[in-house]
Amino acid sequence: MRINVGTVDRIFRAVLGLVLLYFAFLSGLPLFEGALFKYGAAIVGLVMLVVAMTRVCPVYSIFGIKTCRA
């Protein structure tokens, strides 16, 4: 797969992933006490971090979106 995630998009995804993981496991908010929101946020957070690290987004590939310059 080709790189299709740019720098700004990559930073946004990394921050969003870390925030979701924080909310899921460390925040103590009542919303994230239930299993659905807790593990849902954790899975989405991990996916965001993986996409930020690999710079490849499968959804972008399907729709032909590219946020990087190269």
- Helical axes 35-54 vs 7-25, angle rounded to 10°: 150
**In the predicted structure, residue 70 carries a pLDDT above the cut 80:** no
In this predicted structure, what is the pLDDT of residue 63?
A: 94
Distance, in Å, from the CA atom of 56 to the CA atom of 30, rounded to the nearest integer, reads: 34
Q: How far is Cα 43 from Cα 13, in angstroms, rounded to an integer? A: 13
pTM, full prediction: 0.88
pLDDT given at position 69: 86
Locate 41 and state its tokens: 């946020």
Alpha-carbon distances of 20 from 50, 53, 54, 70, rounded to whole Å: 13, 16, 19, 29
**pLDDT tens per residue across span 3-41:** 999 999 999 999 999 999 999 999 999 999 999 999 999
